Amino acid sequence: MHEAIEEFVERMGLMLETEGLSRIAGRLVGFLMVHPEAYSLDELAEQLKVSKASISTNARHLEEHRVLERTSNPGDRRDYYRMKPDVWQGMLRTAQNRWDAMRELFTTTAAALPDDLEVAKARLIEAEQVHLLMIDGVERMLERWSRLREEREAAGERAVRSPNERSPDGASEE
């Protein structure tokens, strides 16, 4: 593995560990992010120098969270994993669903509280409003992302420009 990729994989493990994933899951995301092909559990365990059981557990967890997809090959009983092509959209949709469930909890609880619990009710309503803003903000971002991808594909571009970069004609992407 190239030294820069090895460092990236290790740093992703550490970064995603701070986000609540296991370090192995973070390393798995890092590895598959820079390798577009699908890998078997054995291959992933060898590349990441960890047990096959650990890779299997973490790969299933990441599959449940729409980060990885499991594939197979005809005549081969092994499972293979790769990053989902729409990984960012899937992860953000999962977050939106969580936020909406929390928003619903805040809404129903605030409605059920008596008026004498004014402070509690106000905090729940504020939390509901914040979650509505997050859901809406992510929805707008996903719409923008979809437009950018469509434009890139229509132009035959493979690489993604940063939304902060200027387009070839010098106009802002905004």
Q: What is the CATH number of the domain that holds 50?
A: 1.10.10.10
pTM of the predicted protein model:
0.72
Do residues 51 and 119 share a domain? no
Burial class (CB in 10 A: 0-12, 13-18, 19+), 12: buried
Beta carbons within 10 angstroms of residue 37's beta carbon: 8
Q: Are residues 52 and 114 in the same domain?
A: no
Q: Is residue 93 domain-shared with residue 71, that is, in the same domain? A: no
User: The tokens of 130 are what?
Assistant: 């914040």
Backbone angles phi, psi at 77, to 5 degrees: -85, -5
Tell which of 20, 50, 83 closes a domain. 83
**One domain, residues 79 and 91:** no
DSSP letter for 165, please: S
Domain of 42? 3-83
172: in domain: no
Distance of CA 170 to the CA centre of its chain: 31
Does residue 15 form part of some domain?
Answer: yes
* Residue predicted with more confidence, 109 or 94: 109
The band of 153, judged by pLDDT with boundaries at 50, 70 and 90, is confident
- Same structural domain for residues 95 and 68? no
Same domain? For 95 and 119 the reply is: yes
- In angstroms, the CA 37 to CA 34 distance is 9
Q: Residue 14 has what pLDDT?
A: 97
Q: Are residues 57 and 111 in the same domain?
A: no
Share of the chain above pLDDT 70, in %: 90
Structural domains of the chain, count: 2
Answer yes or no: do 78 and 129 share one domain. Answer: no
The answer to the question of residue 162 being in a domain is no
To the nearest 10 degrees (0 to 180), the angle between helices 23-33 and 3-18 is: 140
